[in-house]
Amino acid sequence: MFAQEQTHLRNWINGEFVDPVSSDVAPAKYLPVTSPYNAKVIGHVPLSTVEDVNRAVAAASAAFPAWSKRTVKDRAAILIRFHSLLTKHLDQLADIVVLENGKNKAEALASVLKGQETVEYALSLPQVVQGKMLEVSRGVTCYDTRCPLGVVASVVPFNFPVMVPMWTVPIAIAMGNTMILKPSEKVPFTMTKIVELLKEAGVPDGVVNLVHGTAEPVNALIDHPDVKAVTFVGTSHIAEAVSQRAHRLNKRVLALGGAKNHMVSAPDCNIEMTSTDVVNSYTGCSGQRCMAATVLLTIGHQQELIDKIVAKSQALRAGSQAGQVGPVIDQASVNKITRYISESEASGAKILVDGRSWTKEHQEGFWVGPTVILHTNKQDAALNEEIFGPVLSILAVESADEALEIENANPYGNAACIYTNSGATADHFVKRFSAGMCGVNIGVAVPREPFSFGGWNKSRFGNHCDITGDGGVEFFSTRRKVTTKWVPQENASWMS
Ligand code: NAD
């Protein structure tokens, strides 16, 4: 899959791969990267330092004046070529996602295509980012234009190696910014391929730079005075810390965090459709999606729905083909997921489908199978905390009010869904869920462009709303307001 020289990854700065900076006393450090399918080491990622970030910011700063002076049409034209290159390399990119992240091939292909959708939105920006203009008094006209911010940084998680970086890169650069991306150290290969495609498309050197590593380069990016804005996607406690650090420096920041998404099944829901949708939602990408269904609250005890969910979960097989369930990212993740299952069992929950069997059956790799837990104790940690694996917690509640009370009390607020055949019931829940992205009969209710993506509560921190779509345009630009007068006015008031 990778050429020998690529197995020790290098940063991408000013349009070329460069080794991480070694200090006078020690060589650069690397972390092994493993494939979740078999735990084999597939390469090494450098632990970049402040010096590496300084080099990348210098390159991005140098590229900014020329890039920002180009028209948005000119920048979008380059993204049209990038879009074609993504299509040309779709299969190869999906294979890298499978190898380093553990998705099945169909999920990997879909994730690259979803990333490509945000490129499509970005290349349409010449049609949607015009400012407004109004004669505000006789002879006096105001207009506004969107200006780029300068150098921006984007820090991304492991679970979507292409799609999440594509939430920021295309819009940020189409709006005239230059940027530094910090991929997840667990999946560093896909974006290493993508930066080469950006160059092939015509993105000038220094416009997109890539610095590998973990916390040190992230903090260095936030602290660097020439980095004007930071986006982050990852766990909530780090998102909150990133947001606070950026706030202290009065820096623009959007930090998306973790999730605990509640699904509510009303007694009138379509049982066949609901069971299929819930199983797809909680097992898709092995449950490693911030939009995955994790808690199903049934209004009343819905045995037929539970039986179907159990049967559909038991029918799933481990593997990398479409319809199969892949591994989770690493051993720490296996340990965390199985701990939640065991703790629920110990507190009296029934494990209706037990994914721990996959952990025992597989000699190699990081496996936990689909798991369905029927809880009786509302305090079970599995019901309340983010697990990030293929685990569904089911709890029967007595009423719509009790379902909403549980959903509203959870500290996260990414997504929530109501399964019903009644428009009135759907409306009731959608208006009362404490979540930024709501679904009606859709367990993975991802808003698509031009809508933006973003949760509420502890699923999103920062002083700007959402990512992708019009929220992305808002985040990656600032407005210049201009007021003009060309003709002297008779009887002019102080306003004119
Ligand atoms: P993570 O928080 O461990 O890592 C995210 C990024 O932060 C990585 O690039 C990592 O290298 C970096 N990082 C690690 N430690 C850091 C530190 N101390 N300071 C600064 N940066 C640090 O998250 P993950 O495990 O890669 O991803 C899974 C999490 O991401 C889940 O919680 C999931 O819900 C969340 N997620 C949220 C969204 C969303 O839109 N809300 C989307 C995708 C994933």
Ligand 1 atom nearest the C-alpha of 214 is: 11
Average pLDDT over residues 336-352: 98
What is the mean pLDDT of the segment spanning 138-156? 96
The domain locations on the chain are 11-257+459-481, 261-440
Average pLDDT of the segment spanning 89-108: 98
* Of the listed ranges 27-31, 186-190, 260-264, 346-350, the one predicted with least confidence: 27-31
* Cβ(318)–Cβ(369) below 8 Å: yes
Burial class of residue 236 (count of CB atoms within 10 Å of its CB; 0-12, 13-18, 19+): buried
**For domain 261-440, which CATH number applies: 2.40.260.10, 3.40.309.10, 3.20.20.140, 3.10.20.30?**
3.40.309.10
Atom of ligand 1 nearest to the CA of 239: 2
Residues 6+ apart with CB under 8 A from 25: none
Q: Tell me if 259 CB under 6 Å of ligand 1.
A: yes
What is residue 324's three-state secondary structure? coil
Alpha carbon distance, N-terminus to C-terminus of the chain: 67
Count of Cβ atoms closer than 10 Å to residue 369 Cβ: 24
Q: What does the pLDDT look like over 193-239, one tens digit per residue? A: 999 999 999 999 999 999 999 999 999 999 999 999 999 999 999 99
pLDDT, tens digit, 9 for 90 and up, residues 310-333: 999 999 999 999 999 999 999 999
pLDDT score of 422: 98
Q: Whose CA is nearest to atom 11 of ligand 1?
A: 214
Stretch 253-259: mean pLDDT: 98
404 contacts: CB under 8 Å, gap ≥ 6? 264, 429, 432, 433
Q: Which of 182, 191, 233 to mutate to test the pocket of ligand 1 (most atoms within 8 A of CB)?
A: 233
Residue 4 has pLDDT above 80, yes or no: no
**The two structure tokens encoding residue 97:** 């996602």
pLDDT range class, residue 284, cuts 50, 70, 90: very high
Looking at the predicted structure, is the pLDDT value of residue 474 above 50? yes
C-alpha to C-alpha distance for 12 and 25, rounded to whole angstroms:
24
Is position 290 annotated as part of the catalytic site? Answer: yes
30 in Cβ contact with 44 (< 8 Å):
yes
- What tens digit of pLDDT does each residue of 411-453 get? 999 999 999 999 999 999 999 999 999 999 999 999 998 899 9
Q: Give residue 179's pLDDT band: very low, low, confident or very high (50, 70, 90).
A: very high
Among candidates 389, 367, 148, which has minimal Cα distance to 289? 389
Per-residue pLDDT at 28 = 85
Compute, in angstroms, the gap from residue 157 CA to the centroid of ligand 1: 4
One-letter amino acid identity for 391? V
Residue 125 has pLDDT above 60, yes or no: yes
User: What is 11-257+459-481's CATH superfamily?
Assistant: Aldehyde Dehydrogenase; Chain A, domain 1 (3.40.605.10)
Share of the chain above pLDDT 70, in %: 97
Distance of CA 156 from the midpoint of ligand 1 (Å): 6
Calculate the average pLDDT of the chain: 95
Equal CATH topology for 11-257+459-481 and 261-440: no
What's the rounded mean pLDDT across residues 163-168? Answer: 98
Rounded to the nearest 10 degrees, the angle between the axes of helix 72-88 and helix 189-201 is 130
Confidence of residue 31 (pLDDT cuts 50, 70, 90): very high
Region 96-111: what's the mean pLDDT?
97
Tell me how far the alpha carbon of residue 237 lies from the centroid of ligand 1, in angstroms.
9
Establish whether the linkage from the previous residue to 27 is cis, with ω within 30° of 0. Answer: no
Q: Which atom of ligand 1 is nearest to the CA of 160?
A: 43
Cα gap 217→213, rounded to integer Å = 6
Question: Would you say the CB of residue 466 lies under 6 angstroms from ligand 1?
Answer: no
Least Cα distance to 12 among 282, 197, 222 occurs for 197
